[in-house]
Amino acid sequence: MTEPPKGFDRTVRLRDGRVALIRPLTRQDAPELGEAIRTADPVTLRRRFCGTAPRVTPRLLERLTALDYQRRFALVARSPSGHGVAIGRYEATATPGVAEISLAVTPDWRRAGLASALVQFLGEAALTRGFDRFTAVYFADNRPVTELLDNAGGRQVIAKGLAEAEVLLRTAQAQSMRAW
């Protein structure tokens, strides 16, 4: 098993004053991740999986939590009480230097800057691991993701109700540094 990298345990104060504790996802997070998928609201599941969520199985949880922290990297955000409230991940694509990013934030923690912080931290990790671009596929009517990617300088192509975006990480990092 690959050990989680050092330097990614962070405390973030959000726009609404709340604090989120962010750290690399590990296999020990599998039970809570499975419960989060099983109990998530339908809108969250539709947005995260671009349709119905997969059936939660031990194999799925192993796939989601067995990370090499190079080509497959994930962060979990927790409330001060320790409850998971968001997850962000990237995974390398077949194109060198490109990783697909995905995020899920529980409804009560949205619109406070948590997704932006996760994207920034994932971008930092990706840049130091040889990636220069993130891609994302999402429903074109998902306004929060559209806004998030717009703020990161993403380019979007929309076809048949799906949007595909590409974000150049160095550009996104420069923009986020001005925003923070």
- Specify the pLDDT at position 171: 67
pLDDT one-digit tens code per residue, 6-45: 999 999 999 999 999 999 999 999 999 999 888 888 877 7
- Specify the pLDDT at position 177: 38
pTM as predicted = 0.87
Are 125 and 157 contacting, i.e. CB atoms less than 8 angstroms apart?
Answer: no
Residue-range domain boundaries for the chain: 10-179
CATH class, 10-179 region: alpha beta
- Specify the pLDDT at position 178: 39
Bin 163: left if φ > 0, else alpha if -120 < ψ < 50, else beta: beta
> Cα-atom radius of gyration of the chain, to the nearest Å?
15
Confidence category of residue 172, pLDDT binned at 50, 70, 90: low
pLDDT at 114 over 90: yes
Q: Angle of helix 30-39 relative to helix 58-65, nearest 10 degrees? A: 120
pLDDT one-digit tens code per residue, 35-92: 988 888 887 777 777 777 788 999 999 999 999 999 999 999 999 999 999 999 999 9
- Specify the pLDDT at position 141: 78
pLDDT at 1 over 60: no
Going by C-alpha positions, the residue among 75, 84, 90, 30 that lies closest to residue 56 is 30
